[in-house]
Amino acid sequence: MIEVKIQDREAQDKIEYIRRADLKSTIMNTSLGPYLKKGEKFPYTLYNFVDKEYIPHPPKHEYSPEEQAKRVSEAGRALAQKCEQHKRR
């Protein structure tokens, strides 16, 4: 019971931490808004104010050597086909 409450509180803390970082980046970007040129992007993002442990990373795919060789050969064939199309022009 206590472990569940602790995990729930840790999840709430993480959400609150990300919300505060988002608010901070919004405030910083808003304060710089009048000084940016037209079409220029805001310099601050959420990731400037969040620790690396809170940044979600895409899962890494582990491929077997056979699968990796197959993928490389397919990519090479596709690239060769594109090069052949451009040579014809």
Label residue 73 by pLDDT band (50, 70, 90). very high
12 membership: H or E segment, kind and range: helix 2-32
CB atoms near residue 83 (< 10 Å): 9
pTM of the full structure: 0.54
Q: How large a percentage of the chain has pLDDT more than 70?
A: 99
CB under 8 Å to 17, separation ≥6 — which residues? 50, 54
pLDDT score, position 62: 86
Q: Residue 63: its pLDDT value, please? A: 86
- What pLDDT score does 27 carry? 93
Looking at residues 61-78, what average pLDDT do you find? 91
Residue 45: predicted pLDDT: 86
CA dihedral for 61, 64, 68, 71, sign (positive or negative): negative
